[in-house]
Structure 1
Amino acid sequence: MSAASAASGTRPRVAVTLGDPAGVGPELIAKLLSVPETAQAADIVLISDETELRDAGKDASTTIEYATEPTPGLPLLLDNSAERPVEVFERKTATEAGGRWAMSNLLRALELAKRGEVDAIVFAPLNKYALHLAGMREKDELRWFEIVLGAEDYTSELNILPNLWTARVTSHVSLAEVSAGITRQNVGAASRLLDKVLREAGIEAPRIGVCALNPHAGESGKFGRHEIDIISPAIGDLTADGIDATGPFPSDTIFLRAQAGDFDGILTMYHDQGQIAMKLMGFDGGVTVQGGLPVPICTPAHGTAFEIVGKGIANTGSIRNAFDLAVRIGARRKAAAAN
């Protein structure tokens, strides 16, 4: 059965996978689907199998309601049991089998997106070590998504709290490699991506603050010239193109300004420059968007949380926000494509 047949009207179609089976992902999805408003917001396509859904319900002390044929008000299960590598997955640890299962479900979701049968994808937390055990050669899932989807535009992970978004110029690289990745072109491309996705999420005139790379924004070149030679010229390019970007600001104070409401988004130069602040500001509600891809892909900003698997206490704030954001962006893109 085609996932496209599950769609109704202008409601977005959202593919959902349960992430790494060793972690809290199955519990999170079960809790998400137990809320009636979830199925009311979108046509949901679950990519899993009945065994995983049953076990997920046990973790969450609920029962996942779904259908195997398009049924109004119920998620549609696209059974992927033919790809299940083992009958029972080991929990609370990264395994090759768990990585294979997570990748196979995601691959099916990506194939649906390539055929235009879903408008967005939401996946529960993955474990990068398990993915690499399963054969993923790329550094992270975003680079894998790029290859599978044939993405040609600039891509970057974006991290989101309810009132603040961040994007990165460099991401999953060592600190020793960061400096080489800070170029005028990369700063501009990352800022333009952040501006675009903010607009897709409904912010009509995004205000972007740009981080410095060096302490004290370089102290007029005493601590490095990246701000003078690279970042400031890139901001000038953005301003000339009509993007509201300002900076560079020292990274030890820019998030205080964001908390005061000065910015809708912050561009950081490397992974932890933004992630530490974002997780301190809202760990239980953070969302990661795989920005720049042909289809919006959203996931919680936290990991698989092996230490609490099976306890039924996983917080649903991030998965709820990830789903809501995927619905919002998916609906706007669907409406735009129809016009």
Structure 2
Amino acid sequence: MTSAPPRPRVAVTLGDPAGIGPELVARLLADPGTTAAADLLLISDPAELALAEEDSGLTIDYATTPTEGRPLLVDNGARRPAEPFERRRATEAGGRWAMDNLRVALDLAAKGEVDAILFAPLNKSSLHLAGLAESDELRWFEVVLGVEGFTSELNVLPGLWTSRVTSHISIAEVDAGITRERVAAAGRLLDGVLRGGAGIAAPRIGVCALNPHAGESGRFGRHEIDIIAPAVEDLRAEGIDATGPFPSDTIFLRARAGDFDGVLTMYHDQGQIAMKLMGFDGGVTIAGGLPIPICTPAHGTAFDLVGRRAATMGSMNNAFHLATRLGAAAAGR
């Protein structure tokens, strides 16, 4: 008889309280399959959960002491500001609350008390108002967890994963961020998560060019010749099935046709535009390269949808299922 896979412990935060995160979490928890799939720790407080119930029209059946089949509230109310959160706009208070709750989740992860983290959408303007010094939450996760190796946001649709060499920097800075070492590191990261997260024994990775038409043999720049192609050869020498560089205006057509399991992009919008066109309502973002899986929907806080009960659940559901799958793998390692 084979033993059941380990039951993952997943920390959940409700994201920016000004947006649709509280509603999404309430709707996620209303599905009996959610609590059946994992032991959940809600990093929040009763006031925020009441807000989630109001936004969703649902009741959250949480516990304040460990109870089988019910999410456990890890009450962070001592850090709540005295005034109610302003909704539908970026604020310092909302950003600080979102970061405070995430910090508790990261502390639990560092202690080995959770196997994965799922967070509802954040608003970067709120985070920066609250004092976030890093370019994005991934870089902040690195600092809090003390990670020094290569990290990258991974974006996931059913059947297709992407990683990127550079992320939340200006286009003017992309050139300096494209190095042979970084391209190879991003390829290794993507290959590793495809093997471990998607369960693909021999992932096929297509690598994007940086310049139009892949540089046309150096006419539009030599990144493809001097940097990207040598990095692809480095990956192939390590046994990774990487090919390219391919022009970025056609590589996703091939990916959609099933030629690749993953696409390695050079900068943020090179991959994100394609991925959001192909599956905006189901996309998931993973903070790749960290010691614990951290997943979130690949969309934003949608201030315009707050209180309308019109938000779709595709990305949130996918993010949860991916967090539980990766968390179970981590719990069983």
Bucket of the pairwise TM-score, normalised by the shorter protein: over 0.9
Residue 9 of structure 1: how far off its partner (Å): 8.3
8 Å contact kept, 1:86–1:97: no
Offset, 1:51: 1.0
Q: TM-score, normalised by structure 2?
A: 0.97
* Pair 1:204–1:134, CA change in 2 (3 A): same
> How big is the shift at 1:330?
1.0
Q: Secondary structure at the match of 2:40?
A: strand
CA deviation after TM superposition for structure 1 residue 152, in Å? 2.1
Whether 1:43 aligns to 2:42 is: no
Structure 2 SS opposite 1:188: helix
Q: After the TM superposition, which of the residue ranges 196-205 and 171-180 deviates more from structure 2?
A: 196-205
Could you say which residue in structure 2 is the equivalent of 1:221?
Answer: 218
Structure 1: how far apart are the matches of 2:134 and 2:247? Answer: 32
Choose from 313, 316, 320 the match for 1:316.
313
Counting only pairs closer than 5 Å after superposition, residues 80-229 of structure 1 correspond to structure 2 as 80-201=76-197, 202-229=199-226
SS at match of 1:10: coil
* 8 A contact 1:161–1:282 mirrored in 2: yes
Q: Deviations over 1:246-296 (max 9, x none)?
A: 000000000000011010100000000000000000000000000000110
Q: 1:272 aligns with which of 269, 273, 283?
A: 269
SS in 1 for 2:117: strand
Give 3-state SS (helix, strand or coil) of 2:328's partner.
helix
> Which whole-Å CA distance do the structure 2 matches of 1:207 and 1:79 have between them?
44
Answer yes or no: is 1:60 the counterpart of 2:76: no
2:227 corresponds to: 230
Instruction: Specify the code of the residue in structure 2 equivalent to 1:232.
Output: A
Structure 1 position 21 matched with structure 2 position 17: yes
Tell me if the contact between 1:24 and 1:305 (Cα under 8 Å) persists in the aligned partners.
Answer: yes
Which segments of structure 1 move beyond 6 Å, counting only runs of 4 or more?
none
Distance 1:78 1:9, change over 3 A: farther
Residue 248 of structure 2 corresponds to residue 251 of structure 1: yes
CA RMSD of aligned residues (A): 1.0
1:20 touches 1:124 (CA, 8 Å); kept in 2? yes
3-state DSSP of counterpart to 1:30 = helix
Residue aligning to 1:5: none
- Mapped to 1, the partners of 2:82 and 2:114 lie a distance apart of 28
CA distance in 1, matches of 2:27, 2:200: 29
Q: Any conservation in 2 of the 1:47–1:77 contact (CA below 8 Å)?
A: yes
Normalising by structure 1, we get a TM-score of 0.96
8 Å Cα contact 2:5/2:332 also seen in 1: no
1:211–1:248 contact (8 Å) kept in structure 2: yes
SS across alignment from 2:163: strand
The whole-number CA distance in structure 1 between the counterparts of 2:183 and 2:135 is: 21
Which secondary structure state, in structure 2, belongs to the residue aligned with residue 159 of structure 1? strand
Identity %: 72
Tell me the number of residue pairs that the alignment of Structure 1 and Structure 2 aligns. 329
Whether the aligned pair in 2 keeps the contact of 1:17 and 1:47 (CA below 8 Å) is yes
User: Is residue 237 of structure 2 the alignment partner of residue 240 of structure 1?
Assistant: yes
Q: CA deviation at 1:88?
A: 1.3
User: What is the Cα deviation at residue 58 of structure 1?
Assistant: 1.4
For the structure 1 residues 9 and 220, does the alpha-carbon distance in structure 2 shift closer, same or farther, using more than 3 Å as the test? closer
Q: How far did 1:16 drift?
A: 0.1
Task: Verify the 8 A CA contact 1:12 1:330 in the aligned structure 2.
Answer: yes
